[in-house]
Structure 1
Amino acid sequence: MLHILIQCINYPPEIVGGGKYTGEMVEWLAARGHKISVITAPPFYPQWKIGEGYSGLAYRQEKHHGVEVIRCPLWVPSKPSSLKRVLVWLSFVIPAAPIVFWKIIREQPDVVFVIYPYLFAAPWVRLVSLLSKSKTWLHIQDYETDAAFELGFFKLKFVRWFATLFENGLLRSFNRVSTISRRMLERLKLKGVLPEKSVFFPNWVDTQMIFPTTNSEAFRAQFDLSTKNFVALYSGNMGVKQGLEILIEAAKKLQNKPNIMFILCGDGAIREQLVQQAQNLNNVKFIPLQPYEKLNQLLNMADVHLLPQRADAADLVMPSKLSGMLASGRPILATANPSTQVADTVKNAGLVVPPGDVGAFVEALLFMESNQEQCQEWGKRAREIAIREWDKEQILLKFEQELIITTRIAYNKG
């Protein structure tokens, strides 16, 4: 069995995004008999607030399902900006560094596994690992550097050139680099990562926990919704990358269709901004994040899942929420350019319109509302895609094998 040290900023009890997947991966590996240690931060995402019962000022050691978890100090701003996000990453990486050093040198883990924020954490991990027998694995949930510049967080060309050069060298130095979509995997080649070092490690869904149901009346009633409502659901993080403004604009244009209800479930940096934009709209409801045990009920409440995405974030991120949407057996309406991974995935399970095109989005939603048989067919295909390509057990079994192979192979630098 392997000894794996994982460094990541997001971890349960966070229930959305990377923290959810890291937690499920860790518990699965521990249940298989592997020794896992996790160095992480206190929960703060997507609310951007330190979780109740945790401190951002102190170290804390925990034990969950046989897994050692060490939480390191973290500074969290109430209103995140591009510069403040960088400071958040640094505020975690700096106090985590001595713990990483001690763990690697003292315990000599077989694999050191680094997740977001990799640009700041990975150099230290790579350097220390050279003093040990440990193999290094970098996992990319989204391309931090590319996304920051494409979304306009940083605009100086020299800064981008330097950051890109630094990142590319860093990626090539790891024994393995994985990412969550085929298009994101192709980008690794452009960054100089050798094919034999690259691993496709997608996010997943537990298709036994998330599955189609036929009775959502009781759950809908909690939010004053009935079976007569056509529920267009967005569930997940409310941040800049999602392009959620299109949902509010579409709701404005559909005020004459009161049966169509936009439900926005979640939290994030721009939630309050969206609430303000929708304050006079009767066809928009905001509801809080739901606990995992209610996730299947939430997803099955939808008549259509909404998956907005900004054009400049294309193939830099792969929305983690997509797997649950597919598994629930409901059709999806996405905004994505035709050549992207999101479009390729959704085209057989719903409709795809250009990012930012409110008119096309409204037209597509009206078509779905008036064509229930077609929606049922899309939902059926969505479920088939989830089982075939996103099943948790299949993906994690392949990942475990890659971990074992990694500990046995010495790669030449590339």
Structure 2
Amino acid sequence: MKRIAIIADAYPPMRTSAAVQLRDLSQELVRQGHFPTVLVPSAELGQPWSLEEMEGVQVLRLQGPRTKDIGYVRRTAGEFLLPFQMLRNLRRSPLASQRWDGVAWYSPTIFLGPMVQALKRQSGCRSYLILRDIFPEWAVDMGLLRRGAAYRVFKQVERYQYSVADTIGVQTPANLRYFDGWRRPPVARVEVLQNWLADAPAAGCSISVASSRLAGRRVFVYAGNMGIAQGMDILLDLAERLRGRKDVGFLFVGRGSDAARLSDDAKRRGLDNVLFNEEIDPREIPGLYSQCHVGLIALDPRHKTHNIPGKFLSYMQSGLPVLAAINPGNDLKQLIESEGVGRVCCDNSAASLHHLAEALLTDLAQEDLAARCRALAARTFSSATAARQIVTALEQPT
């Protein structure tokens, strides 16, 4: 049995994909006979720490600065202070002197390196960085950040994070190439750690498609963050092109910086084939998808780094083929096409996406399409596989 510290800035009851992934990973580690403890900040906590057991996992919540749903400047300041406040409050908790057999942490955020280093030194153990996006590079690609002073500061933080990792797990083979350009390798090993998602049976859903104006239609669904990085305007362009088809509808569920703007735009265009709903509990997602027919993915074409969104995994698990509009060169294109689980567009053209959507609607008649999706999820995106891979890396000699 290994006693593993898992450090992250998201965990249930938060509803983000990161929170769900970390819950699934922690519960799988318990099933495999290990003892994980999740160390997670909470801006709402009225005391330095709170220790609880949540669905079989020990969770230590540590008082920390607010880093969510605030402006970029305040968020950056909060994330810079985050590891130091978490570490200070950890030292006030019952786990202050705990020795760990390994430390794993989740990025984003890129600022947890100092806390990881402190726990490694205290326990003489190895560490594993679960790297889900490459910041600040993607922010530069999106035009959110210039290669000025702020960029250089973020690059130093990024380098420090990599320097305290014994192993880095990136989410696609293309991300391995990012580390080829480092003059001095920051870690002993960089490997592909596929995203994961545990089995989740349908447990009902507060959204009823049958009671909405989309009743009886074949529904394209998008569930998740609606922000700048997603570039979702092309999905509304698609809905506008398909408004004449009364057998097709679009359902958008979630929150994010662009959610209100997109909803207002759909109303302005008079899209009666589109519905927007607020974020729902992750446990309701299988029940939502059981009412839908195609999963939507959007990634802004300016991205130069690669990722496989968590929603892709949940679509596959629920047997939903995908219609994806993604950045050129993304590994996800080859995966979708080679596995025959949907259609994918990389030219940021609404006309191209419309053509692919029509083809996918025809594909829905294939009897084995849903089975192919579920088989891919079970074979490739297993939380059991991810947990074993992380533990194996942490067991290497220090």
TM-score normalised by structure 2 residue count: 0.86
Among 358, 366, 370, the residue aligned to 1:366: 358
2:256 is paired with a residue whose SS is coil
1:385 aligns with 2:376: yes
2:100 is the alignment partner of 1:115? no
Cα distance in 1 for partners of 2:40, 2:187 equals: 29
Offset of 1:230 from its aligned partner?
A: 1.8
Name the CA distance, whole Å, in 1 between partners of 2:238 and 2:393: 44
User: 2-side partners of 1:322 and 1:57: how far apart?
Assistant: 37
Q: 1:260 aligns with which of 216, 241, 248?
A: 248
Match of 1:70 in 2: 61
- The 3-state SS of whatever aligns with 1:107 is coil
Q: Note if contact 1:241-1:309 (Cα within 8 Å) is conserved in structure 2.
A: yes
Q: Contact 2:138–2:304 (CA<8 Å) still a contact in 1?
A: no
Contact 2:11/2:19 (8 A) holds in 1 = yes
Q: In the alignment, which of 341, 352, 373 is matched to residue 344 of structure 2? A: 352
- Aligned with 2:308 (options 309, 315, 318): 318
Matched with 1:59 is: 48
Contact 1:105–1:132 (CA under 8 A) maintained in structure 2: no
**Alpha carbons of structure 1 residues 265 and 402: separation in structure 2 relative to 1, 3 Å:** same
Counterpart amino acid of residue 8 in structure 1: A
Counterpart of 1:149 in structure 2 is 140
Q: Distance in 2 between matches of 1:76 and 1:156?
A: 23
Check 1:209–1:190 CA distance in 2 against 1; reply closer, same or farther (3 A cut): farther
* Alignment of 1:225 onto 2:214: yes
Aligned to 2:7: 7
* C-alpha distance in structure 2 between counterparts of 1:129 and 1:76, whole Å: 25
SS where residue 136 of structure 2 aligns? helix
Residue of structure 2 in register with 1:296 after alignment = 286
Question: Are 1:209 and 2:201 counterparts?
Answer: yes
8 Å contact from structure 1 (residues 58, 73) kept in 2: no
Change (3 A) 1:99 1:38: farther
Q: Distance in 2 between matches of 1:87 and 1:189?
A: 31
The alpha carbon displacement at 1:100 in A equals 4.8
Query: Hey, what does 1:45 align to over in structure 2?
Result: none
Matched residue SS, 1:313? coil
**In structure 2, C-alpha distance between the alignment counterparts of 1:97 and 1:316, rounded to whole Å:** 32
In 2: Cα distance, 1:2 partner to 1:25 partner? 14
CA 239–150 in structure 1, closer or farther in 2 if over 3 Å, else same? same
Local SS of the residue matching 2:365: helix
Match of 1:272 in 2: 260
Residue of structure 1 in register with 2:23 after alignment = 23
Matched, 1:176 2:140: no
User: Which whole-Å CA distance do the structure 2 matches of 1:83 and 1:219 have between them?
Assistant: 39
What is the root-mean-square deviation in Å for CA atoms of aligned residues? 3.0
Give the secondary structure class of the aligned counterpart of 1:106: coil
Unaligned runs of 5+ in 2: none
> SS state of the match for residue 26, structure 2?
helix
- Is the contact between residue 37 and residue 60 of structure 2 (CA under 8 Å) also seen in structure 1? yes
Query: What's the secondary structure of 2:151's corresponding residue?
Result: helix
Runs of 4+ in 1 over 6 A off after TM superposition: 102-105
- Correspondence 1:400-411 to 2 at 5 A: 400-403=391-394, 405-406=395-396, 409-410=397-398
Q: Is the 8 A contact 1:82 1:154 kept in 2?
A: no
CA separation in 1, counterparts of 2:25 and 2:302?
A: 30
Conservation of the 8 A alpha-carbon contact between 1:185 and 1:200: yes
- 1:59-86 CA-partner distances (Å, limit 9, x unpaired): 34131225142232332565x4433432
State the AA in 1 paired with 2:230. Answer: Q
Partner of 2:233: 245
Q: Distance in 1 between matches of 2:328 and 2:228?
A: 21
One-letter amino acid matched to 2:198: D
Query: Which residue is 2:271 aligned to?
Result: 281
Q: CA deviation at 1:8?
A: 0.7
Q: After TM superposition, give the deviation of residue 331 of structure 1 in Å.
A: 1.6
The answer to whether 1:306 aligns with 2:296 is yes
Greater shift in the superposed pair: 300-309 or 177-186: 177-186
Amino acid across the alignment from 1:109: W
Say which SS state the counterpart of residue 86 (structure 2) adopts: helix
- Determine if contact 1:308/1:336 at 8 Å carries over to the other structure: yes
Take 1:206 and 1:113, find their aligned partners in 2: how far apart are those partners?
Answer: 19
Q: Which amino acid aligns with 2:139?
A: A
The equivalent of 2:320 in structure 1 is: 330
8 Å contact from structure 1 (residues 146, 316) kept in 2: no
CA 1:271–1:73: 2 relative to 1, 3 Å: same
How far did residue 210 of structure 1 move?
7.2
1:37, 1:320 → 2: CA distance?
A: 23
User: What percent identity do the matched residue pairs reach?
Assistant: 18
Q: Quick one: distance in 1 between partners of 2:120 and 2:390?
A: 21
Deviations 1:184-232 (A, max 9, x none): 2332343454785223222223346379xxxx9x9531434333x1211
TM-score (norm 1): 0.83
The number of equivalent residue pairs is 389
1:248 alignment partner, SS class: helix
Whole-Å separation in 2 of the counterparts to 1:388 and 1:334: 21
Select 1:136's aligned residue among 127, 131, 134.
Answer: 127
